[in-house]
Amino acid sequence: MIEKVTSRSAHKQSISENEQVAIALRPRLMGPLLEQLFELEMEHIEGQNGTSRGRGRSYECRILDTKYEPGNYCRILYQLGDDLVIGEYKWDSNESQIPETTKVIPSLGMRVYRFPNDPALPSLAKALDPQMVSAALAEALPEFQANAARVLRCDVKLLRFRPGRRCTVQLHVWLREKESGAIYNRVLYGKIYHDLGKARSVYQQMLSLSSSVPAKDGLISFATASAFLPDLAMVLQDPIAGVSLENLMSCDTKVCDPRGFAGTMMAAAALAAFHNSSGVVAGKERSIRSELVRFKKRGAEIGQVDPGLSNNIIKLADALSAWLDTLDLWGATTCLVHGDCKPAQFLINNQQIVLLDFDHGGMADPAVDVGTFLATLQQMQVKETLKNHGRPVPCASWLPALKRQFLEVYCSAGGYPSGFWHLAEWYEAVALLRKTIRAFQRSPFSPLPAALVTEAWKGLETLPPPS
């Protein structure tokens, strides 16, 4: 079957974008194609490592990440055996800009490169080199600047990779104190960014938040920035203990986990404290008007693949826009926001709560974060309902009350007026539309995007008519 599809594609002068993406999203078809492309390289690496897959045995191929914008590009991260491989279509790109490390699958017109050869992350290969990292640490960490210690060894472990955007690693650093000769180990977490300016901005923001009034008062904690390594576009932070709030929630239970409920209320109070951080201003302004315009543009692009979904996205964006002039009447304001606020971004450590990852931070209405958090809870139920083939799911009995109490605690802790409830509901619909587009980009043939649009429309029905 694989050979037939490959052969049939190879004899075509070109195949449509939809066909390209459909094949690329099928690991069973892509595995043999990628394996053939990198066969000699992989055999060489196996020989160096003293391992072998055995005669006639294929590498398992899985898809780890997808980002698809119709008419623009599609980028897919594959795991092929123990390797990571990035496959990419760029339908509007300049052929002269293709890196030398790129290979091409002729039958698909897909450009392929092996991790860490990501053209959009030029410092990635250096940031994964222990010697390069050790040299950068020697210039950045206080121990070295004070000439109190030296690096004996540094191990770099990959944790997460988003092609074209960023990469997260764990560093194990062994050091020797110069005065006593004692050897000790230090663990750090590093994030490599595609843009040096972005990395510097995140680092400065982390420093500001750690010294903010709510952090000093113990109302909320943030990751501690250890160092900034400009040559590697890497921000380092210290380890943080705790349990992810996301892991304390499950749609399989008829009763909310008490730890999840308590953690959600802690998150609500902590988020209000964060939004009230006096004097903390960082990042660019996140214009909701501009975002709704982008939603319509993305919706139009999706029409190449799914006209029905495209039409619903554009209609929903237009409907949301009708309330724009009403937001000020509901008490809209501007402050530093997280930008991707959801249970997975909160760590619970006894009675302390930590807010993580400010990659999407900027200046906007605080209701952005509240609406995104609420939309993420609603998305949990939508996903579980789809898995249950549309039948009612256990969390439907307690999730509405959890969302309502989260909002109550947030408004009480932050002193927000009653109109904030309407803002939060409106921004929840906005977040569900944003999640619709992201869900399509990650899995264009999934039923999830359409289900999220439907959920967003339900939210708008609860709002008073636009002024």
Q: Domain of 333: which CATH number?
A: 3.90.1200.10
Q: What is the pLDDT of residue 100?
A: 61
| CA distances from residue 410 to 276, 343, 374 in whole angstroms, order as listed | 11, 15, 12
Q: Is the distance from CB of 372 to CB of 427 less than 8 angstroms?
A: yes
Last residue of a domain, one of 237, 259, 294: 237
Same domain, yes or no: 71 and 130: no
One-letter amino acid identity for 333? T
User: 283 with 431, same domain?
Assistant: yes
pLDDT at 51: 54
Does one domain contain both 42 and 99?
A: yes
Q: Are residues 36 and 165 located together in one domain of the fold? A: no
Q: Are residues 385 and 272 in the same domain?
A: yes
Hey, what's the torsion of the CAs at 321, 324, 330, 331, to 10 degrees?
130
Q: Are residues 139 and 274 in the same domain?
A: no
Domain edge (last residue) among 237, 262, 292? 237
Cβ atoms of 369 and 340 within 8 Å: the answer is no
Neighbours of 408 (CB within 10 A): 13
Closest alpha carbon to 66 in 52, 56, 51, 76: 76
119 located within any domain: no
State whether 172 and 84 are in the same domain: no
**DSSP letter string, 167-231:** EEEEEEEEEEETTT--EEEEEEEEEEES-HHHHHHHHHHHHHHHTSHHHHTTS-EEPPEEEEEGG
Does the reported pTM lie above 0.85? yes
Cβ contacts of residue 339 below 8 Å, gap of 6+? 286, 358, 359, 360, 361, 362, 364, 368, 369
Locus of tokens 């293709």: 98
> Given this model, what pLDDT does residue 150 score?
84
Point out the domain boundary residue: 192, 209, 237. Answer: 237
Q: What is the pLDDT along the chain (467 residues), one digit of tens a residue?
A: 333 333 333 334 468 999 999 999 999 999 999 998 887 555 544 555 555 554 445 789 999 999 999 999 999 999 999 999 999 999 976 554 555 667 899 889 999 999 999 988 999 999 999 999 999 998 888 777 677 788 889 999 999 999 999 999 999 999 888 888 899 999 999 999 999 999 999 999 999 898 888 898 899 999 999 999 999 999 999 999 999 999 999 988 999 999 999 999 999 999 999 998 756 666 688 999 999 999 999 999 999 999 999 999 999 999 999 999 999 999 999 999 999 999 999 999 888 899 999 999 999 999 999 999 999 999 999 999 999 998 989 999 999 999 999 999 999 999 998 889 999 999 999 999 999 999 999 999 999 999 999 999 999 999 999 97
Task: Supply φ then ψ for residue 135, to 5 degrees.
Answer: -65, -40
131 and 105 in a single domain? The answer is no
Structurally, the chain folds into a number of domains equal to: 3
Domain that holds residue 25: 2-114
Task: Decide if 250 is inside a domain.
Answer: yes
Alpha-carbon distance 437 to 302, whole Å?
9
Residues 303 and 202 in one domain: no
The residue type of 429 is A
Q: Identify whether residues 233 and 247 lie together within a single domain.
A: no
Q: For residues 172 and 155, is the Cβ–Cβ distance under 8 A?
A: yes
Is 466 within the bounds of a domain? no
For the chain, the first-to-last Cα distance in angstroms comes to: 59
Kindly state whether residue 465 falls inside one of the protein's structural domains.
Answer: no
